[in-house]
């Protein structure tokens, strides 16, 4: 019933958007600002109008991010159709973008997380919880590409990418906001930006404390971002420095059928000893120079360092993992603009040194999870890529976009312990491995009129294995057997504005091979195949001067395309943790320019929790309320009530090691804050 009502509402808005009587005259179109002129930077690292983009891209601006004042980035990103960020405990999360919710190496390696176009982590050393390392709380914007990225992006841009943009240094103001909320939440954001001649400076600081909804589940987190811009004549320079520190007590899964419905159990913590400590530091320097009127060179050297220590509460081993890496790299791009056409050549290079150690300190009832040292190794990685990207205005209305990226990855693996088998854990001898991916792209954009366009896109996404895929092996794996993962994606869609309604709709079909995943018994499967298809709609309509309705909805099927008896996989089954229908509906009321209120309905469809499709989570519906009021110039009060109806629900439902497991969602929670601008 919930599915049909949500679908009917979404289709109703879509049908009204395409109602012929609602079409404005061409004269009216010329007088309005076209939504296709909005500029996004992620597709080519430089900036392009939506009218030139052949795939489905979404952008959340700084004003929207500020209004939401999310406790967790999932609250912000799940407004986007096709996105499903499942929150774990504290800052932990798992991601879905035109995909099931993926875990382990697949979860880390299938999505590319960026800061101003530079990956937060080296491709083979990604973090499945990687979004918490981005300074999203004070971001100048977030851009989301669903499906494989353009030729500018290689490994990990398989199911999609998220680019967190640092704020401009040219804003000439400072802000301070402080909020308090349920479960001992306290957050402070402070920013300042100043301009002196050709130089601009931005600084941002976020401090977060949580006591935790569940027992022994508090956290403290600090983030800092510094940015400086210099612009003089034909030369432009942008420097960024970002740091992050997280100290988190972690609550593990609660177990048992529908355990999340028991309020006492939901607030408990079966793993009070669990924790996660992580630190990161990143810096980049983008230098851009106009060589001639048509040629521009952009060079971005960067460096990063991070380390993490956490207890693997989600596995029976409860093992301690310590990992870290440091990297140096450069993105080098030559832009050639000639008329309405563009040709781009680029070369990326990156060197990384990473370490991982995993040790189990307890005995378990699962005999293959053996007490003692599991892994201890170093990996040096060298990645080099060449790419070409072209755009041609073939007719007045048709634009063709094509690209090709060739990327080579070499791992030099050094095993620091014995090369043998311990329980279920296989430790390979020292070795070198090389992986090569070739990812072609082809897109079309057809301009129907000034405000509306159609697009079609073919893109291949591919990734070299994560180093944990390749070297944290298990007894059922053969050393060196793992291959590059590849996904072929076809997409058609439309975007634009009709009357008072803006829209973006898309349909896609994808097929993936060499899918790496962990089955319900915790064993790695390296040669999976899956099929994916779906439709997405993002619609905002202005009902009257003070009232607007926004709907983001997606229907998708993610299906196993092979059978594996040992893992319970049957060809044609739904991939586990892949809800077919998700929706986010928002009614926004702005009675005055200084007041904004929002009523939000979040729908999560039901989904299977195991590959055999023998266990299911029923889904849920949540209602949230938000408001902001600028009581006087430069002073704003804001607040929110989340889960207004106090619904029992699970942020994540899972079936593993013969039991139903849940991360319970929070009960009704409130927050209030004040924001100063000066």
3-state secondary structure string across 219-270: EEEEEEEEEEEEEECCEEEEEEEEEEEEEEECCCCEECCCHHHCHHHHCCCC
Torsion of CA 438, 431, 130, 402, to 10 degrees: -10
Report, as an integer, the average pLDDT of 8-23. Answer: 35
**Is pLDDT of 388 > 70?**
yes
Q: What are phi and psi of 105, to 5 degrees?
A: -65, -35
Determine the pLDDT at residue 209. Answer: 97
**Is pLDDT of 70 > 50?**
yes
Strand partners, 301: 330
**Is pLDDT of 4 > 70?**
no
Report, as an integer, the average pLDDT of 104-123. Answer: 92
Question: Quick one: 232 exposed, middle or buried, by C-beta within 10 A (0-12, 13-18, 19+)?
Answer: exposed
**Is pLDDT of 404 > 70?**
yes
**Is pLDDT of 10 > 70?**
no
Strand partners, 194: 201
Report, as an integer, the average pLDDT of 429-435. Answer: 97
> Interior CA angle at 152 toward 341 and 348, to 5°?
120
Instruction: Tell me the per-residue pLDDT of 645-671, one tens digit each, with 9 for 90 and over.
Output: 999 999 999 999 889 999 999 999 999
Instruction: Tell me the per-residue pLDDT of 517-538, one tens digit each, with 9 for 90 and over.
Output: 888 878 888 889 999 999 999 9
Task: Find, among 133, 158, 138, the residue nearest to 148 by Cα.
Answer: 158
Determine the pLDDT at residue 367. Answer: 82
CA 610 to chain centre: 23
Number of compact structural domains in the chain: 1
CATH at 268: 2.40.170.20
**How many C-beta neighbours within 10 Å does residue 145 have?**
26
Model pTM score: 0.93
pLDDT band at 43 (very low <50, low <70, confident <90, very high): confident
Separation CA 128–CA 136 (nearest Å): 17
Determine the pLDDT at residue 33. Answer: 66
**Is pLDDT of 629 > 60?**
yes
* DSSP classification of residue 83: B
The mean of the pLDDT values for the chain is: 92
Range of the domain at 461: 2-677
């Amino acid at each position: 019933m919930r599915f049909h009502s949500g679908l009917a509402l979404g289709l109703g808005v879509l049908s009204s958007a395409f109602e012929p009587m609602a079409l404005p005259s061409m004269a009216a179109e010329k007088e309005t600002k076209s939504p296709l002129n909005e500029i996004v930077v992620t597709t080519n690292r430089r900036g392009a109008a939506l009218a030139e983009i052949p795939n489905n891209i979404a952008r959340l601006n700084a004003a929207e991010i500020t209004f939401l004042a999310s406790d967790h980035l999932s609250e912000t990103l799940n407004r986007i159709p096709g996105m499903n960020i499942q929150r774990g405990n504290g800052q932990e999360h798992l991601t879905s973008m035109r995909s099931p919710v993926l875990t382990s190496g697949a979860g880390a390696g299938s999505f590319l997380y960026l800061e101003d176009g530079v990956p937060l982590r080296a491709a083979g050393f990604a973090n499945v919880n990687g979004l918490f390392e981005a300074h999203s709380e004070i971001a100048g914007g977030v851009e989301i590409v669903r499906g494989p990225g353009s030729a500018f992006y290689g490994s990990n841009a398989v199911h999609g990418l998220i680019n967190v943009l640092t704020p401009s240094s040219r804003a000439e103001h400072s802000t301070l906001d402080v909020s308090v909320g349920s479960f001992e939440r306290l957050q402070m954001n402070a920013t300042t930006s100043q301009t002196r001649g050709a130089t601009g400076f931005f600084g941002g600081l976020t401090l977060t404390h949580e006591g935790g909804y569940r027992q022994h589940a508090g956290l403290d987190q600090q983030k800092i971002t510094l940015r400086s811009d210099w612009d003089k004549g034909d030369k432009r320079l942008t420097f960024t420095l970002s740091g992050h520190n997280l100290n988190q007590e972690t609550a593990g899964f609660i177990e048992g059928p529908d355990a999340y419905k028991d309020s006492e159990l939901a607030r408990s913590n079966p793993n009070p000893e669990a924790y996660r400590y992580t630190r990161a530091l990143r810096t980049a320097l983008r230098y851009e120079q106009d060589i001639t009127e048509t040629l521009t060179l952009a060079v971005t050297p960067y460096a990063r360092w991070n380390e993490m220590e956490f207890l693997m509460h989600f596995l029976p081993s409860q093992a301690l993992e310590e990992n870290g890496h440091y990297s140096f790299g450069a993105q080098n791009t030559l832009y050639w603009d000639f008329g309405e056409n563009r040709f781009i050549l680029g070369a990326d290079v990156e060197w990384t040194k990473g370490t991982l150690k995993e040790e189990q300190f307890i005995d378990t009832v699962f005999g293959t999870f053996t007490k003692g040292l599991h892994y201890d190794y170093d990996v040096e990685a060298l990645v080099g890529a060449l790419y070409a990207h072209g755009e041609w205005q073939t007719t007045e209305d048709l634009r063709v976009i094509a690209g090709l990226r060739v990327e080579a990855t070499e791992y030099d693996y050094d095993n620091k312990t014995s090369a043998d088998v311990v329980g279920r854990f296989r430790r390979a001898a020292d070795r070198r491995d090389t992986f090569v991916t070739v990812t072609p792209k082809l897109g079309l954009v057809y301009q129907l009129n000034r405000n509306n366009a159609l697009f079609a896109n073919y893109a291949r996404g591919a990734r070299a294995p994560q180093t944990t895929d390749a070297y944290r092996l298990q007894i059922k794996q053969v050393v060196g057997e793992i291959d590059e993962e590849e996904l072929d994606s076809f997409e058609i869609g439309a975007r634009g504005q009709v009357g008072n309604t803006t829209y973006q709709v898309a349909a896609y079909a994808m097929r993936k091979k060499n899918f790496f995943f962990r089955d319900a018994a915790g064993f790695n499967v390296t040669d999976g195949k899956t099929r994916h298809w779906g439709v997405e709609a993002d619609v905002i309509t202005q009902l009257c001067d003070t009232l607007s309705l926004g709907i983001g909805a997606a229907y998708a099927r993610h299906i196993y395309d092979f059978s594996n008896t040992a893992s319970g996989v049957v060809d044609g089954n739904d991939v586990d943790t892949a809800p077919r229908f998700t929706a986010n509906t928002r009614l926004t009321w702005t009675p005055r320019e200084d007041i904004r209120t929002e009523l939000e309905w979040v729908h999560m469809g039901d989904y299977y929790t195991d590959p055999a499709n023998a266990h299911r989570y029923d889904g849920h519906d949540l209602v949230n309320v938000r408001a902001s009021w600028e009581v006087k110039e430069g002073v704003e009060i804001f607040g929110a009530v989340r889960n207004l109806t106090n619904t029992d629900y699970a942020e994540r439902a899972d079936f593993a090691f013969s039991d139903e497991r849940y991360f319970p969602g929070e009960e009704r929670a409130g927050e209030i804050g004040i924001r100063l601008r000066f």
